[in-house]
Amino acid sequence: MSQPLLQIQSFSVSFGAFRVLNNIHLTLAPGESLALVGESGSGKSVLARSIIGCAGAGARQEGTVLFRETNLTSASDQTLTSLRGGKISLMLQDALSALNPLYTIGRQMMETIALKHPAFAKGAGRAWKGFGRSDKPALRAMALELLHEAGMDRAEECFHAFPHQLSGGMCQRVMLALALAGEPDLLIADEPTTALDVVVQKQILHRLTQNVRARRAALLLISHDLHLVSEFTDRIAVLYAGQIMETGPTRKLLANPRHPYTRGLLEAMPKANTPKGSLRPIAGEVPAPWERDQGCLFRGRCPKALAGCALPPQEYVVENGWASFCGQLPHTTIPHAPSGGGPAYALCS
Ligand SMILES: Nc1ncnc2c1ncn2[C@@H]1O[C@H](COP(=O)(O)OP(=O)(O)OP(=O)(O)O)[C@@H](O)[C@H]1O
Ligand SMILES: [Mg+2]
């Protein structure tokens, strides 16, 4: 693996007395895509926002987040401001609320390009003073090009529209165009296609991964959809109650998951041929931050839990680059691929 672009080490985030992310370790190399999956409330968005120092008011961070040589947890506001939307871009979970309802898409895009695109940005972290008349034609042309790049069919029409005049899919494409405006080396996409139909989802993710790969940039893709991440990402990290449960190569891990939580997520996913009534949701709920202790946080819902699960879970290395945090793993019989060679858990793509 080449030199990591992003290294998250022993990273924790607390709000007041409650820890919502605990001891996260993740790396991302240039040209690589990493999926972050997990149930609602597991801490995916907090992690995404924390990387660029926007965890939220009152957030306390421990550990390090290295972006190349810069430790983002101790970086100055000026450094963070210059990186945001530039070398590091974040596509927020809710596209419509991330756009300013008072301005046209064109204006929002031209402002972002003027501030963040390498050809225009004239000073890292400088205050926004507007753009000159003479810059307008070039900014406009670039905005339209980015909208095309994001797969917007009627880019000109969209350029003049206000956010409320666009469909959900169009807003997501605008967010993608905005996220690409700074030619980011790291793109963090927090559920960029939620609530869109499967065709549009795939189109947007295809564009996004193509762009990222072509520039040897890295992608952190947050999603609930294991079908999509198995198609579009190289590695996966499974987050539960603020902790990594399992991490490894996406397709291999999803074909033969080792952690009972990953298996639970897969069993709860509908597939094309799932017979009616046969989905198995994971019983119970994610423990709230004030209910968490040192033991395995999944043990209250785990079908394989034993008394030893109350101890801190150990890292079990399945193979190089694939680790699972389940104290029972070395002793538990994991269902392996059937003798025919097919995966234990087949995802349709
Ligand atoms: N600003 C905040 N103050 C206090 N707690 C917060 C704050 N933001 C998030 N949390 C808590 O952090 C935990 C993780 O939230 P987060 O939004 O990261 O979950 P998520 O995995 O992104 O969920 P979803 O899939 O629903 O988007 C939750 O328990 C949430 O209540
Ligand atoms: Mg979220």
In testing the pocket of ligand 1, which one of 12, 13, 14, 15 has its CB within 8 Å of the most ligand atoms? Answer: 15
Neighbours of 134 (CB within 10 A): 7
Neighbours of 276 (CB within 10 A): 5
Give tens-digit pLDDT for 133-187. Answer: 778 899 999 999 999 988 888 999 999 999 999 988 889 889 999 999 999 999 9
DSSP H stretches of helix in 130-268:
136-149, 155-160, 168-180, 198-214, 226-232, 250-255, 260-267
Judge if the beta carbon of residue 42 lies within 6 A of ligand 1: yes
- Ligand 1, closest atom to CA 48? 18
Name the average pLDDT for the chain.
Answer: 87
Judge if the beta carbon of residue 162 lies within 6 A of ligand 1: no
Distance CA 14, CA 22 (A): 9
The mean pLDDT value for 318-344 works out to 64
What percent of the chain stands above pLDDT 90?
Answer: 63
Nearest-CA residue for ligand 1 atom 4 is 15
- How confident is the model at residue 128, as a pLDDT? 56
Cα 97 to middle of ligand 2, angstroms = 14
- How confident is the model at residue 339, as a pLDDT? 39
Cα 102 to middle of ligand 1, angstroms = 28
Cα 113 to middle of ligand 1, angstroms = 30
Judge if the beta carbon of residue 194 lies within 6 A of ligand 1: no
Q: Contact at 8 Å (CB) between 307 and 331?
A: no
Q: What is the DSSP letter of 257?
A: -
The two three-digit tokens of residue 102, written as one number: 């008072």
Give tens-digit pLDDT for 76-94. Answer: 999 999 999 899 999 987 7
- pLDDT exceeds cutoff 60 at 189: yes
Residue 271: pLDDT band with limits 50, 70, 90: confident
pTM score of the predicted model: 0.89
- How confident is the model at residue 322, as a pLDDT? 94
- How confident is the model at residue 342, as a pLDDT? 42
The mean pLDDT value for 320-326 works out to 93
The mean pLDDT value for 7-13 works out to 97
Neighbours of 293 (CB within 10 A): 10
Residue 219: pLDDT band with limits 50, 70, 90: very high
- How confident is the model at residue 349, as a pLDDT? 34
- For the chain, domains (ranges, CATH) are 1-87+183-349 (3.40.50.300), 103-181 (no CATH)
Residue type, 7: Q
- How confident is the model at residue 330, as a pLDDT? 58
Residue 340: pLDDT band with limits 50, 70, 90: very low
- pLDDT exceeds cutoff 60 at 290: yes
The two three-digit tokens of residue 100, written as one number: 């300013």
Give tens-digit pLDDT for 200-214. Answer: 889 889 988 998 999
Residue 132: pLDDT band with limits 50, 70, 90: confident
Nearest-CA residue for ligand 1 atom 2 is 56
Cα 144 to middle of ligand 1, angstroms = 35
- How confident is the model at residue 98, as a pLDDT? 85
The mean pLDDT value for 18-28 works out to 96
Give tens-digit pLDDT for 241-269. Answer: 999 999 999 999 999 999 999 999 998 88
